[in-house]
Amino acid sequence: MHVVVPYTTREPKSRLAGVLAPDERRAFARAMRDDVVAAVRAAGETPTVLTTEPLDDGVDAPVVVDDRPLTPAVNAILAEEAESAVGVVMADLPLATPDALARLFESDGDVVVAPGRGGGTNALVVRDPAFRVDYHGASYRDHRRIAADAGLSVAVVDSMRLATDVDEPADLAEVLLHGEGAARAWLTDAGFELAVADGRVGVARE
């Protein structure tokens, strides 16, 4: 299976601006991407990074550059590889493990979806050329509808590790609690640590 890892270099993780400077957001986004690429490879599949512009760092995967928005860029790959299964795993899933990804890749269904919190689609597998993605809005709901309209079967993978995409400062606590790779190490090296206040777990920076 060919697995695409969409990754943007244009103002990555802007919602972390309150806790990370622009260069730090870029470095942290790279660390999360590298964790995802490593987990895909360890799950026995071949990752390709789909990016908006050429990369100047040494990612351990082939790189495809497409400056279009996410939906048309992914749909172009699905059209090109219509005869084979394609996986799409977002680059901001630093909790993804080989076991969690193997559940996704091995689940039966014309379309296999791992929903994110808030209605998004964090990862999927497409096995039928009739399916196309639409990442706008509540994409998990929309992807189920698109599959149903095309008469395709859908499997849903309920996974905390695949549901946890990192967008907000509060999400950093999940990386410190459950992460095992480069993203957690980056946060630790940058001085972040868990903090408990009023019974809530968050993060603080030294």
pLDDT tens digits for 81-99?
988 999 999 999 999 999 9
> What integer pLDDT is reported at residue 197 of this predicted model?
85
> What integer pLDDT is reported at residue 119 of this predicted model?
94
Strand partners, 201: 196
Q: 2-163, superfamily in CATH?
A: Spore Coat Polysaccharide Biosynthesis Protein SpsA; Chain A (3.90.550.10)
Q: What is the pTM of this model?
A: 0.95
> What integer pLDDT is reported at residue 103 of this predicted model?
98
List the chain residues with pLDDT less than 50. none
> What integer pLDDT is reported at residue 57 of this predicted model?
85
Run of H or E residues at 159: none
> What integer pLDDT is reported at residue 66 of this predicted model?
96
> What integer pLDDT is reported at residue 168 of this predicted model?
94
> What integer pLDDT is reported at residue 136 of this predicted model?
87
Residue-wise burial string across 100-125, b where 16 or more C-beta atoms lie within 10 A, e elsewhere: bbebbbeeebbbbbbbbeeebbbbbb
Residue 116 DSSP one-character state = P
